[in-house]
Structure formats: structure tokens, C-alpha cells
Amino acid sequence: MARRLGDETLRLGTSGVEWAADRAFRLSAAVVLSAFAVLAAIGMLSATSGAAGLPVAGVIEAVFAQLPVLGVESSLSARQESILFQIRLPRLVLGMLVGGSLGMAGAAYQGVFRNALADPYLLGVSAGAGFGAVLAIGFGLDLGWGPFGAVPAAAFIGALLAVSASAAIARSSGSAPATLLLGGVAMAALFAAAQTYALQQLSETRAREVLSWLFGQLNTSGWGQVWILGPYVLVCGLFLMTHRRHLDVLRVGDDEARSLGLNPSRVRFGIIAASSLLTAAAVSVSGLIAFVGLVVPHIVRILVGHSYRVIVPLSALTGAAFLAFVDVGARTVVAPSELPIGVITSFVGAPFFVFVLWRGNATTT
């Protein structure tokens, strides 16, 4: 509130230049509130759709009843409550965390590579993370404590290997936007092959289990996966949020950024590490979900502009809403069976990728 009052006085008391300078790179509260509103609406849609119908009012009451201070009574039956809290909500929250992670990581990759086609999946990061995770899951590496287990760690190592290799390929063979993607394609193919080889070494039941995870899915029971992903989202999300200012400086190119007093390599290293860790954690719990990191920042860019101060947080919110929405489709379109969510995002994402290429704005980051 104080913030808004301050803006008003500034607007009334001074001329247009001050106002323009004050508005530069600012994220408007109205936009953030709308994004949260969309997210809440999709959350409600997700919580109420499915085989067992839950009433909207009942869901709201049941959620608020979790906070005893409010004194709200839930009107849902015990069975309905357990569907809501043990099945629907964990899956919804997990979908939002995964979608938010991928959206944010995509935005950050696009910023550091100054390439609007960058995406965790297209850069080979997901494949690298997937290979690491397959090794860890398939060979039953079950070490670690809480969320800091062998699977995310192995996925992170795979992700870093893949993104470093893609970036190195791009650097050594010219800086055209497509080169980075070609490097990513090469890495994705390499890691996919390694993955197939690793799968072959497993027993058939184990392999089937790993394979269904790999397609990208949010099948969970309870809150376990949410607790694994949550801490990574918190830490990496905070890192990317505090470093997004640097991405706007990088937009004038490395040389100018350096002459403005920014160290581009330092920024790049930190942001790539955080984005890759975020991707790896998301892949560890949900498998490979393609194109979210490409589609979401693009939509945000079209709707609210090109500054990364705006794109990074809004890609997180929009990614969360997008994946939660897609998951409603995955659960209901072929009910009572289910589609892997990664299949749907690819159905949406691949034509979108072609659309981006066709519009020719691959470098307009």
C-alpha cells in the first residue's frame, strides 16, 4: 500500500520523465494479481474435475478448514476430503511446482543464451537430467536425506553435462541461435541413447516402471514428491528472482554488459547452475515434460513485454497455471485412463515451436 501511495505522489508531483524513469523495468501489481487469479481459477478447476465430483464451495471450505483460526467447517464427506487432500491437491501442487520450475528455467536459459528458442528440453538439459535419474532409479541408488537424494543429484550432474556441452558446441561453431539448439539436439540424442542402453540392462518390470516415469507424468500418491521438489523450487527460484536484473543487462550483449560493469561469465555461470538444478529436480519427480520452458516465456513476452524482471516471475506463475491446466486434460480426456502429461505438452509445444520459427523472432529476447 505504501508503495502505491508513493507512486501516486511521484506521478502527480513531477513530470513525464521522472514517471518514465520510475516505471522502467517495473513489474505492475495488477499483472501479478491477474496471474495469481488465473492460477487460482485453474487450481479450482483441477480440484473439482475428475471421476468423483467435488463442489467448488466444498473445496474452498475444506481448504480454509485446515486453518483452525478461521473457524470454517468443511461440508465435504470424509471420502471426499481424502480424495481432495490425498489425491487431487498433491497432484495439483506438484503440477504447479513442475510447471513453474520449467517455465522459470526456460525464461532464464533464454536470457543467458540470448536465444528465444532456448528451453530445458531443447537444450538437452532434460535428457541429461533424465539419464542421470534413470541411472539412479534403475540401479536403486537410494541414498541421501529428505529431498537431497541420489536421484536429483544424479539428474543435476546429467543436466549440467548436457547444458555445458550444448553451450560449448554453440560457442565453437558460431553464434547463430540455431547452433545452440543443434548442440542441444545432439546432446539430447546422445543422452537418449545412453538412457536406452541403461534401460536395457534393467529387469523388465523395473524398466517398465522407469519408462512410464520417463514419459512425463504427475502420478503420485500423497505429498512425497511435493516435499522433494519444494526446497529446490524455493532455493533456485529465489536465486533466479534476485538475479533476473542481470538478464536485462545481458540483453545488450557481453561486451556492452562488461563495459556497464557486469561480469557476464559470472552471471551466466550462476544462472545456468540454478536453472539446471531446477530442471533436474523437476525431471526427477515428473520425468521429461517438453516445451513448457519454450511456450510459457513466449506467451508472457507477447502479453507483458520483454524485460526479464517481468518475464522470470511471470513465467513461473504462468508455467504453474499452464501445467496444472494441461494436467486436467491429461486426467479427463481419456478417462478413466490417463494420458502422460508430457505427450500433451509436446502436442501443444511442437506446433508452437514451428510458429516461433515462422515468426522469425528467435533472437528477439
Residue 164 Cβ vs other proteins, minimum distance, rounded to whole Å: 23
Nine cell digits for residue 136: 539412479
Out of 16, 140, 146, 360, name the contact with other proteins by CB under 8 A.
16
What is the rounded CA–CA span in Å between residue 91 and residue 87?
6
Out of 134, 248, 283, 315, name the contact with other proteins by CB under 8 A.
248
**Residue 273 interacts with other proteins (CB under 8 A)?**
no
Return the range that interacts with other proteins (CB under 8 A); candidates 81-89, 138-146, 249-257, 328-336: 249-257
Out of 55, 144, 222, 253, name the contact with other proteins by CB under 8 A.
253
Residue 309 Cβ vs other proteins, minimum distance, rounded to whole Å: 8
**Residue 301 interacts with other proteins (CB under 8 A)?**
yes
Out of 251, 338, 348, 357, name the contact with other proteins by CB under 8 A.
251
**Residue 259 interacts with other proteins (CB under 8 A)?**
yes
What DSSP string describes 48-113?
A: H-SSS---HHHHHHHHHTTSGGG-PPP-S-HHHHHIIIIIIHHHHHHHHHHHHHHHHHHHHHHHHH
The answer to whether 7 and 29 are in contact (CB under 8 A) is no
Return the range that interacts with other proteins (CB under 8 A); candidates 46-54, 63-71, 169-177, 239-247: 239-247
**Residue 18 interacts with other proteins (CB under 8 A)?**
yes
**Residue 255 interacts with other proteins (CB under 8 A)?**
yes
Q: Which residues, 6+ apart, have CB-to-CB distance to 307 below 8 Å?
A: 25, 248
The answer to whether 341 and 218 are in contact (CB under 8 A) is yes
Q: What is the dihedral sign for C-alpha 268, 271, 276, 279?
A: negative
Residue 241 Cβ vs other proteins, minimum distance, rounded to whole Å: 10
**Residue 315 interacts with other proteins (CB under 8 A)?**
no
278 vs 82, 145, 182, 285, 351, CA distance in Å? Answer: 30, 18, 23, 11, 25
**Residue 261 interacts with other proteins (CB under 8 A)?**
yes
Site size with other proteins, rule: CB under 8 A: 32
Return the range that interacts with other proteins (CB under 8 A); candidates 10-18, 49-57, 228-236, 285-293: 10-18
Return the range that interacts with other proteins (CB under 8 A); candidates 14-22, 126-134, 229-237, 347-355: 14-22
Alpha helical stretches, state H, 139-223: 150-172, 177-200, 204-214
**Residue 249 interacts with other proteins (CB under 8 A)?**
yes
At how many degrees (to 10) do helices 204-214 and 125-138 cross? 150
Out of 65, 207, 262, 357, name the contact with other proteins by CB under 8 A.
262
Query: What's the alpha-carbon Rg for the chain, to the nearest Å?
Result: 21
Query: Would you say 53 or 360 has its CB closer to other proteins?
Result: 360
Helix (H) or strand (E) holding 149: strand 148-149
Q: Under the rule (CB under 8 A), what is the footprint of other proteins? A: 15-18, 20-25, 242-243, 245, 248-249, 251-253, 255-262, 301, 305-307, 364-365
